Amino acid sequence: MDVDSGKAKRRDPGKRAVSADLPSAIVRAGAALPAGQTLEAERAARPPLAPGVKYRRILLKLSGEALMGSKGAGIDPAVLAQIADELIDVHSLGVEMALVIGGGNIFRGVAASTTGMDRASADYMGMLATLINALALQDALESRGAKTRVLSALEVQKVAEPYIRRRAIRHLEKGRLVIFGAGTGNPFFTTDTAASLRAMEIGADIVMKATRVDGVYDKDPQKFPDARLFRRLSYLDVLNRNLAVMDSTAISLCHDNKLPILVFNMTKPGNVRRVVLGEPLGTLVVEDRRESRNSSTGSPPVAEEERTHGK
| Helix H or strand E segment including 87 | helix 77-91
Alpha carbon of 291 to those of 206, 276, 285, 300: distances in Å?
A: 20, 22, 13, 10
Let me know if residue 2 belongs to a domain: no
- 39 and 133 both lie in a single domain: no
Q: Residue 71 gets which letter from DSSP?
A: S
- 20 and 161 both lie in a single domain: no
Let me know if residue 5 belongs to a domain: no
Please give the Cα distance from 198 to 58 (Å, whole number): 11
More confident residue, 224 or 206: 206
More confident residue, 114 or 179: 179
pLDDT surpasses 90 at 217 = yes
**What is the band of 212 on the pLDDT scale with cuts at 50, 70, 90?**
confident
| Nearest of 216, 245, 242, 240 to residue 228 by alpha carbon | 216
- 93 and 26 both lie in a single domain: no
- What is the tens place of the pLDDT at every residue in 267-278? 899 999 999 999
Let me know if residue 4 belongs to a domain: no
Backbone angles phi, psi at 26, to 5 degrees: -65, -40
| pTM of the shown model | 0.80
Residues 163, 169, 171, 175, CA torsion sign: positive
210 forms bridges with which residues in the sheet?
A: 264
pLDDT surpasses 60 at 301 = no
- Of the given ranges (23-27, 128-132, 195-199, 208-212), which has the lowest mean pLDDT? 23-27
- 78 and 129 both lie in a single domain: yes
**What is the band of 69 on the pLDDT scale with cuts at 50, 70, 90?**
confident
- What is the tens place of the pLDDT at every residue in 117-145? 999 999 999 999 999 999 999 999 999 99
Please give the Cα distance from 308 to 113 (Å, whole number): 36
- What is the tens place of the pLDDT at every residue in 150-174? 999 999 999 999 999 999 999 999 9
- 102 and 205 both lie in a single domain: yes
- 240 and 259 both lie in a single domain: yes
Antiparallel, parallel or unpaired: β 206-211 and 261-265:
parallel
Let me know if residue 156 belongs to a domain: yes
Antiparallel, parallel or unpaired: β 57-62 and 96-101:
parallel
- 59 and 118 both lie in a single domain: yes
207 forms bridges with which residues in the sheet?
A: 59, 261
Let me know if residue 3 belongs to a domain: no
Residues 6+ apart with CB under 8 A from 263: 209, 211, 215, 216, 245, 282, 283, 285
- What is the tens place of the pLDDT at every residue in 219-232? 888 888 899 999 99
pLDDT surpasses 50 at 85 = yes
Which span out of 22-26, 71-75, 301-305 was modeled with the highest average pLDDT?
Answer: 71-75
Let me know if residue 33 belongs to a domain: yes
Let me know if residue 75 belongs to a domain: yes
If one counts the domains in the chain, the total is: 2
**For range 81-88, the mean pLDDT:** 96
More confident residue, 299 or 207: 207
Q: CA angle at residue 151 from 198 to 132, to 5 degrees?
A: 110
Residues 6+ apart with CB under 8 A from 98: 57, 58, 59, 60, 168, 172, 177, 178, 179, 180, 198, 199, 202, 204
- 152 and 169 both lie in a single domain: yes
- 18 and 149 both lie in a single domain: no
**Given this model, what pLDDT does residue 28 score?**
38
Let me know if residue 1 belongs to a domain: no
The rounded mean pLDDT for the chain is: 84
- 219 and 247 both lie in a single domain: yes
Alpha carbon of 278 to those of 56, 231, 271: distances in Å?
A: 12, 14, 11
Is the distance from CB of 46 to CB of 175 less than 8 angstroms? yes
Q: CA angle at residue 267 from 151 to 139, to 5 degrees?
A: 35
CATH assignment of the domain containing 264: 3.40.1160.10
Containing structural domain, residue 39: 11-45
| Nearest of 231, 227, 214, 209 to residue 265 by alpha carbon | 214
**Given this model, what pLDDT does residue 31 score?**
41
Residue 43 burial (C-beta neighbours within 10 Å; 0-12, 13-18, 19+): exposed
- What is the tens place of the pLDDT at every residue in 249-265? 999 999 999 999 999 99
- 84 and 113 both lie in a single domain: yes
- 157 and 267 both lie in a single domain: yes
pLDDT surpasses 90 at 299 = no
Residues 6+ apart with CB under 8 A from 236: 255
More confident residue, 36 or 19: 36
State the maximum Cα–Cα separation within the chain, in Å, rounded to a whole number.
Answer: 101
